[in-house]
Chain A
Amino acid sequence: MRRIVRFLASPRLAAALLLFIGAWVTIATFVPQSITSPGEIAAWDAANPALATVVNAVGLHDAFTAPAFIVPSLLLALCTAVCAWQRTGVARRRARVLREVSAAGLANDFALAELSIPVASDVENDEAYRRVVATLRELGIPGSRVGDRVVSVSPWWTVWGTAIFHWALVALIVLMALGSLARASGQMGVAVGQTRPDQPESYGELTAGPLYRWASNDRSIRVDDFHLDYMAGGISRGPTPTVAVLDGDGEVLESRIVYPNHILRHGSLSIYPVDYGLSAEIAMLDDQGAEIQRTVQLLDFDGTSPDGTAPVSEIGLYGSNGQVLNRLIVSVPLDSVPEGFLGRIPKDPSAHVVVADLTGAVLLDEVLRPGEEAALPLGGSLRLLGVDYYARLQIVDDPTITLLYIAGAIALVGLGIATLARQMIFTAGILTESEARIMAVRMRLWRIHTTSKSEIESELRRALGATEGSA
């Protein structure tokens, strides 16, 4: 165990891991990544066949989830934890020394003095102390005279910065790993007026960690309104839905107009707008004309489609045996201008309804206006109830976000202390030895960047050794 700890505590290992991760990540930015540019990978591989072999072998197209990245990152996390532990020990020892120096009233300074600087015979004691204070100030150290000493001692908390920073880094890494296990993130299309349960079947794209619990989730998402170009603060916010989160009883828990930088939050849930499209609400009627089911067909804008829209998914029409026999394909013909289709509800809304069998043979092809019906080949009919917008929402439920923010803030506080605070002890007092006076200096400079030990010594020697022009 001790060997493992010693291995993980090695600064060379930490530096090597940092360098490897830095190099890996750098190379990864020059290779198409599956998470950021999946469409470019095949073309890149074809254009660079020799490199592609190596890149695919080491997993560089998935650079940030490849074992070559994850394993060194985990090892670095362990190194950071061990390092944080060691720094905690160092900080405790230094804090104790600082407290002792403050509490001891500097009683045993002379015994611990590291420097003995002769004081010129024509320099009075008061003048010598004044020169020491002035020299320190010139070197960026605030010192003051306390009785027969010049003192500059950092507060005890200044030594904790780097330990706090490293522990916060460990916490950040752990929380990020936990977050990937405990979060759910996906995109859900919701038409205006529609309510969808926050369950996997409502999502188009979904990534959920193994620790995420859907069973305890009875809320639902509703879109109440939609502005094609919402203005706020004199700036266009683009297509903007009003989204509500409902509890299991249908009560509104939270409602908000959502656009970038103005998201809906409810507990660990965050909802952002990603895109929008159109929706066609359809009622299925039986042979007597009674409504038996309603469905909302979501439609994305598609410049390659003759109507300018294409359904997000097709609807299956079931026969009496419970098998899907026909497919219902709905689109909304858009208004167009010479430049192309207009991405908005047409002035005269309608739905193009196509029913095809499983071989692709078209059995029905009609354009319906709201309120119009069409008879279905398998019996019954369908009625177009209306055309509206739908909002595609990014829905993220991540209980670790708040904790990540807190860990990030703590990391910055620790780093700030480590960066800006001096960690030092300086005391100086005059001793008389066989009629010669010396300035006995005790100096512990753990972290100070405005000067150095040798510079302090040489400047003090200069200040105390000459009468003219030295201080």
Chain B
Amino acid sequence: MTWVTLFLYAGATALSAIGVVFGKDRLLGRSVLVAAVGLAAQVASLGFRWVRVGHGPYLGFYEVSAALVLFVVATFVYAAWRQPRLASAGIGVMPVALLLLGGAMLAQGTEVPMTGKLTSFWLAIHVIFANLAFGAFVISFGLAIAYIVRERSSSGAWAKRFEKLPAQDALENLTVRYVLVGFFFWGIMIITGAIWANEAWGRYWGWDPVETWSLIVWIIYAVYLHLHYTLRWHGQRLAWVAILAMPLSLFTLVGIPAVFDTTHAGIGGLGKDL
């Protein structure tokens, strides 16, 4: 089922790219539809796994990454359903989902058992908000890419290819909106994590690398919001901040265990799971 999901996400990515490059609006709509079907397949895939391993997709590199992908695609499909003109942002969003799911499948066989330290309702809350935040950050990333591509070709072919998108200033507002939503969910993730750490380890903050990097990402997005709201940054330079910040959030969520020793061992890490 995961292979079906991967195939469908690859199809959605290709349709999105072709739709944008050749200016085929119908293909953009189809790309969202294919992504939605892939989403359904992924929900089924993760559901089967949930039943088999006895816990939700919270533990190990595969589950954590696959859950992130699920929320990214779900956020994109929801956004494109609410505002069809956002469909062309898929050219920035779907490749991230595709690559992340492909990477996750390298560690698909690993099943991390639930331990006493992880058995808490805070786990689900903490992880869900991490996923929601990442979904919003990836959408802001996709919108920012669309903004920059169109801005750099304001009277050229690329401007025409993205013409279905909202006007540039509205697109920027939407990017800010998704950053704000991600910032909000990321904040909930940090606070619920702190409460859980206090319940489990007796301290709400311990400068663990994942804790520290989650703070770094929050600070970077706080800087983004201050640049926009108080220093009145607009345009490409603001979009670049959104583009550069997203990979850091991905690194925080799945990359840390590969680089640092962390108490968030449940995330796994590609090298460790393999």
| Chain A residues engaging chain B, CB cutoff 8 angstroms | 11-12, 14-15, 18-19, 21-22, 25-26, 28-29, 33, 35-37, 64, 140, 185, 232-233, 235-238, 259-261, 263, 270, 272, 274, 394, 396, 401, 404-405, 408, 411-412, 415-416, 418-420, 448-455, 458
Contacts and interface: CB of A to CB of B under 8 A. Distances in A.
Contact of B117 (A261, A448, A454): A261
Contacts of B187: 411-412, 415
A451 B170 CA distance: 5
A18 B167 contact: no
A10 B261 CA distance: 38
Contacts of A396: 202-203
Nearest to A16: B223
Nearest to A37: B261
Contact of B201 (A140, A260, A405, A416): A260
For the complex of A and B, 10 pairs with smallest distance between CB atoms: A449-B177, A11-B230, A452-B169, A22-B219, A237-B116, A261-B120, A394-B202, A272-B202, A419-B184, A455-B170
Contacts of A452: 167, 169-170, 172-173
Interface in B126-174: 166-167, 169-170, 172-174
A193 B131 CA distance: 46
Interface stretch (B61-69, B102-110, B191-199): B191-199
Given A18-B223, A21-B219, A405 B195 contact: yes
Interface residues on B, range: 35 or more
B173 A454 contact: no
Contacts of A233: 119
Contacts of A451: 166, 170, 173
B130 to A, nearest CB: 15
Contact of A29 (B170, B172, B213): B213
B202 A33 contact: no
B231 A235 contact: no
Interface of B: 83, 114-117, 119-120, 122, 166-167, 169-170, 172-174, 176-177, 180-181, 183-184, 187-188, 191, 194-196, 198-204, 206-209, 212-213, 215-216, 219-220, 222-223, 226-227, 230-231, 260-261
B220 A29 contact: no
15 contacts: A18-B222, A29-B213, A37-B261, A232-B116, A235-B116, A235-B119, A236-B116, A261-B199, A394-B202, A412-B184, A419-B184, A449-B177, A449-B180, A452-B170, A454-B169
Contacts of A140: 83
B157 to A, nearest CB: 23
A204 B206 CA distance: 20
A450 B177 contact: yes
Nearest to A63: B207
A227 B168 CA distance: 64
A180 to B, nearest CB: 11
A26 B191 CA distance: 20
Contacts of A21: 219
A210 to B, nearest CB: 19
Contacts of B227: 15
Contacts of B119: 233, 235, 261
A416 B184 contact: yes
Contacts of A453: 169
Contacts of B215: 25
Say whether chain B's binding surface is mostly helix, strand, loop, or mixed: helix
Contacts of B230: 11, 14-15
Contacts of A261: 116-117, 119-120, 122, 196, 199-200
A140 B82 CA distance: 9
A422 B227 CA distance: 20
Contacts of B169: 452-455
Given A260-B201, A263-B202, 9 more contacts: A232-B116, A235-B116, A236-B115, A260-B199, A261-B200, A394-B202, A449-B177, A451-B173, A452-B170
B200 A64 contact: no
A11 B206 CA distance: 29
B92 to A, nearest CB: 18
A37 B122 CA distance: 26
Contacts of B203: 185, 396
Contacts of B206: 35-36
A19 B119 CA distance: 36
B200 A450 contact: no
B260 A29 contact: yes
B188 A14 contact: no
Contact of A12 (B83, B114, B183, B231): B231
Given A37-B261, A235-B116, A394-B202, A455 B167 contact: yes
A461 to B, nearest CB: 13
A28 B116 contact: no
B184 A415 contact: yes
Contact of B116 (A26, A29, A259, A416): A259
A408 B231 contact: no
A260 B117 contact: yes
A15 B241 CA distance: 13
Contacts of B208: 36
B207 A64 contact: yes
Given A15-B227, A29-B209, A260-B200, A22 B220 contact: yes
Contacts of B83: 140, 450
B114 A449 contact: no
Nearest to A273: B202
Contacts of A26: 213, 216
Contacts of A418: 180
Contacts of B226: 11, 14-15, 18
B129 to A, nearest CB: 10
A230 to B, nearest CB: 9
B200 A28 contact: no
Nearest to A456: B170
A451 B173 CA distance: 7
> Among A21, A263, A408, which residue has the most Cβ atoms of chain B within 10 A?
A408
A454 B167 CA distance: 9
Contacts of A405: 195
Nearest to A394: B202
B244 to A, nearest CB: 13
A283 to B, nearest CB: 34
Given A15-B231, A64-B207, A235 B184 contact: no
Contact of A415 (B183, B209, B260): B183
A419 B223 contact: no
B177 A33 contact: no
A18 B117 CA distance: 33
Contact of B204 (A12, A401, A411): A401
Nearest to A26: B216
Contact of A455 (B166, B207, B261): B166
Contacts of B191: 408, 411-412
